[in-house]
């Protein structure tokens, strides 16, 4: 009986902790202005339908299937797409050129900034690792 009570209390505590630390829906106006401008300029035909905030970071979900994670300063950290290609213009010119020269017909479906480098997934199941200066560091087939 005591063991069951401990399990029950532990379960309630874990449930409370998960709710307490979960992303919270916030108004679009909570996004930094630079993040809202980025969305408007990069995806002009899309509407923001949900914004979540957690520990100063934000996640914006757009009605075209794009999800963008932003740092507290409004700089994007990652962009993920279900079915809408991500414009190469989100990348520095050197990185854009490397992607275009490596796979000219492929579309970008996911971009992530990692320690000054970029991890880019393409619609041909290829994952590229490119430095901010445009050097191709590595590539692999995405599984």
Give pLDDT tens digits for 88-108.
999 999 999 999 999 999 999
Q: 24-81 domain in CATH 3.90.380.10?
A: no
Residue ranges of the chain assigned to CATH 3.40.1420.30: 24-81, 85-143
Of the chain, the percentage scoring pLDDT greater than 70 comes to 83
Report the largest interatomic distance among the alpha carbons of the chain, rounded to a whole angstrom.
67
Contacts 24+ apart (CB under 8 A), 40-43: 42/87, 42/89, 42/90, 43/84
The CATH number that domain 85-143 falls under is 3.40.1420.30
pTM (2 decimals)?
Answer: 0.81
pLDDT tens digits, one per residue of 33-46: 999 999 999 999 99
Q: What is the pLDDT of residue 5?
A: 61
Q: Given this model, what pLDDT does residue 3 score?
A: 61
């Amino acid at each position: 009986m005591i063991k069951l009570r401990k399990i029950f209390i532990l379960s309630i505590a874990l449930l409370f902790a998960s709710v307490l630390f979960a992303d919270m829906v916030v108004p679009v106006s909570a996004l930094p202005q630079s993040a809202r401008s980025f969305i408007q300029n990069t995806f002009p035909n899309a509407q923001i339908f949900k914004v979540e905030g957690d520990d100063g970071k934000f996640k914006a979900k757009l009605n075209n299937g794009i999800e963008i994670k932003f740092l507290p300063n409004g700089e994007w950290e990652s962009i993920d797409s279900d079915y809408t290609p991500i414009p190469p213009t989100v990348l520095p010119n050197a990185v854009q050129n490397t992607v275009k020269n490596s796979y000219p017909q492929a579309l970008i479906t996911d971009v992530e900034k990692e320690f000054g480098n970029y991890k880019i997934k393409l619609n041909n199941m290829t994952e590229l690792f490119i430095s901010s200066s445009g050097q191709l560091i590595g590539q692999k087939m995405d599984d």
